[in-house]
Structure formats: structure tokens, C-alpha cells
Structure 1
Amino acid sequence: MRAPIGNFDNARPAPDCLDELTAPVAQAVRAWHGDVPADQLIYVDTDPEIADTAVFAKHYGQELLDESANCVIVAGKRSGETTLAGCVVLSATRVDVNGAVRKQLGARKASFASMDTATGESGMEYGGITPIGLPGDWPLLVDSRVVDTEWVLIGSGRRRGKLIVPGKALAALPGAVVIEGLGI
């Protein structure tokens, strides 16, 4: 199978490579439903040593600079309560934590979650966090430009490997809220 974007030697439907994914991501792919069929979630094997976006794009295809998205975990705090949320923005932008995220979560303060919290609570590896498989009770904030991208490269839950999915599929994930201007 040829990947719809990038230059990858090994592209396969994600349902055929569940053993390459972390447990929460594999479970989400197994339980996948919606307008986008699960076999349109494409797993590509990648070298974890070249995970930095610029180096990654140089190796796997320059167009990936415009077709990659990052998923980061943020912590919103209000009245002693902390809400964790996933935020997905194109990799050429950064998450508007103090504006769009804080407002959407109704938080007094918002910041990036610590690495230990992000990995421990998501069940995913640092550098591979993906919106697919995040806890269902977390808000998932998705920048509208990600949803409007035909095919988007995202993490697979591990540093090795990525998923290529239709951008619109991310809007249908549990807890997803599409926000214009989430990425700045």
C-alpha cells in the first residue's frame, strides 16, 4: 500500500498493525466507528531517531511540514480542580494555551502538562502522543485547520511509527471540539 502523503516504505491500514500501537490507541482503532472507515487510518513505520519535525520532513517528504499535526496535553486549573485535555494543531503552529485553551476549558490557568502526567495519564510515549486513544472523558480541542487538511500525519502512541488519517476524522473523536484559532 502507498501512503497518501509522504515517502514511506511501509504503509498499512492501522487495524492490521494493532501490535505496533500502544494499548489505548489499539483499543480506539479496534472500536473505531464513524464516517471515516478504520482502514483509512494508515500506519507508517518511521525511525524514532529522526522524530524532530524538520528532520522528519527532510527524510520522509517536505510536504509533511504542512500536513503534520502535533497533539499536546494541557492542564487547565480552576478552584483547585485540574482538567486534562488533548490539543491538536498543525505542526507549523503552536497551541494558544493562554487564550483559546484557557477559555474553552473555563480555566483560570492553563499550561502544558508535565511529561510524566502526559504519558502516565494517556498511556502513550513522549513524542508519540496522538488524539486517537486519549481518555474519552478528556476534552479534545482540534484546530479547524487540522480538520480541513485532507490527510494529516499524527502520532501513533509510540515514538516509532505515525498515523496518517483524514483530518475530518479527528473532529469525530470522543470529546472533540473544533476550534478556529487554537493554533497560532
Structure 2
Amino acid sequence: MGVDWSAAAGTLDVTSALERLELLAEPVAAAVRELDDEQIGVTEIDPDLADTAAFCEKYGSPLELSANCVVVAGKRAGEVRYAACVVLATTRADVNGVVKRRLDVRKASFAPMDDAVQLTGMEYGGITPFGLPADWPILVDSEVAAAPAVVVGSGVRRSKIITPGELLARLPGAEVLEGLGR
């Protein structure tokens, strides 16, 4: 295996996601199969501890190696434009600056939970940059891209993906942006 997941994994045992596709939401499993990269790890967790702060506290995963993926929506000329933003858990996505400019919209905000769940085919609290709709940009903060390993959602609340940040920066539709996380 070419990656050391231990810094981000805390006390969890991580396995290649390719060997445990049943731990992933269907669109995530499809994306992982297509990428066919052993650097994508997965670990099972208590679904009640899927939220970042509770997860990090319970499993000893550092907040600075956990990344949140949020769905943002903005409108331009009646068209809704979506994007996923991936930022470290120690920061917040600059929705009203960086994201609004990138989407070229007058106003951007977090997408309503029901919309995010329906459009991604993932559970709320488990949304991940893997397996998102192909026409969405995936905006990755430069600090996430530089991390040796980060924890992200798996599409479901009962597991987490651990992977090098540079792999997230190489996902189809990914764009690395300075200052996305503030």
C-alpha cells in the first residue's frame, strides 16, 4: 500500500475501500471502483458519531486531518448552480466570497438538506466528494489537497473514507482553491 492512513485514522482500522465497497453509498462505490486506487481507505464507525467533532473525539482522529464536504447552491438567470466544497474541519467554506465568485452567482448558500441528499444519493452527514453529479465542480481547499491523509464522508453515516488530500484534488471536476477554507 502506498499510503499511511494512521495519522488521520486515530484508533480505527482502515482497509482498502475496493475491498469493502458495501461500506459506501452506491454512487460513492461506483466512483471508487472507477478510480481503482488502493490509496482510498474505508473504516466502519458508529453512525451516531458521524458528525466531525464527535467522530474525532471518539476515535482520536485529528480535526486538522478531517475534511467536511458541503453542498452549496447559487442562482444565476433562474438556473441553480451547485458545487461541493471540501474544507478542513478547522475551517469554514468561504461561501459568500470564493464560492460565490467561482459559481458566478449573486448569492450562494448551503443547499437545503433534502436537496443535497436527493441530488447526491448520499446520507446527510456522510456527503463526500466521491460520486457526486458529474456536472458539479468539486472545490477543494489547498490545505486539504496538501494533507498527507484526510478523513471524509463515505456517502453513509456508518463509515468514513481516509485518503491522501492530493487524490481529492485529482477527482473528476476537482479544482484546488486557495482560501476556500477560512
Q: Could you say whether these structures have the same fold, taking a TM-score greater than 0.5 normalized by the shorter chain as the test?
A: yes
CA contact (8 A) 1:8 1:44 kept: no
Counterpart AA for 1:51: A
CA–CA distance in 2 between the matches of 1:159 and 1:98? 28
CA shift digits 1:57-99 (9 cap, x unpaired): 22111x5211000000000111111111100000111111110
SS in 1 for 2:63: helix
1:14 paired residue number:
17
Which residue of the partner structure matches residue 160 of structure 1? 158
Correspondence for 2:126 among 128, 137, 146: 128
- Measured after TM superposition, the shift of residue 10 of structure 1 is 3.5
The answer as to whether partners of 1:139 and 1:176 remain within 8 angstroms in 2 is yes
Q: Decide whether the 8 Å contact of 2:51 with 2:125 is kept in 1.
A: no
TM-score under structure 1 normalisation?
0.92
Percent identity of equivalent pairs? 54
Q: How many residues align?
A: 179
> Can you give the 5+ residue segments of structure 1 that lack an aligned partner in the other structure?
none
* 3-state SS, counterpart of residue 147 of structure 1: helix
Number of the residue aligned with 2:73: 75
Match of 1:142 in 2: 140
Distance 2:64 2:164 in 1: 14
Q: Secondary structure at the match of 2:98?
A: helix
Q: What secondary structure, in the 3-state scheme, does the structure 1 residue paired with 2:127 have?
A: coil
* Residue 114 (structure 1) aligned with residue 121 (structure 2): no
Structure 2 Cα separation of the partners of residues 21 and 125 of structure 1: 10
Q: Distance in 1 between matches of 2:98 and 2:22?
A: 36
Alignment correspondent of 1:24: 27
Please tell me whether the aligned partners of residues 8 and 45 of structure 1 are also in contact (alpha carbons under 8 angstroms): no
What pairs up with 1:81-96 in 2 under 5 angstroms? 81-96=79-94
Q: Given residue 81 of structure 2, which amino acid in structure 1 is its aligned partner?
A: T
Distance 2:150 2:47 in 1: 18
The CA distance in 2 between the partners of 1:4 and 1:136, in whole Å, is 31
CA distance in 1, matches of 2:65, 2:23: 22
Q: 2:6 aligns to what?
A: 4
Task: Determine the C-alpha separation between the residues in 2 that align with 1:54 and 1:109.
Answer: 29
Tell me, in whole angstroms, the C-alpha distance in 2 between the residues paired with 1:51 and 1:178: 25
Distance in 1 of aligned mates of 2:22 and 2:54: 26
Cα displacement (A) at 1:3? 4.2
Partner residue, 1:59: 58
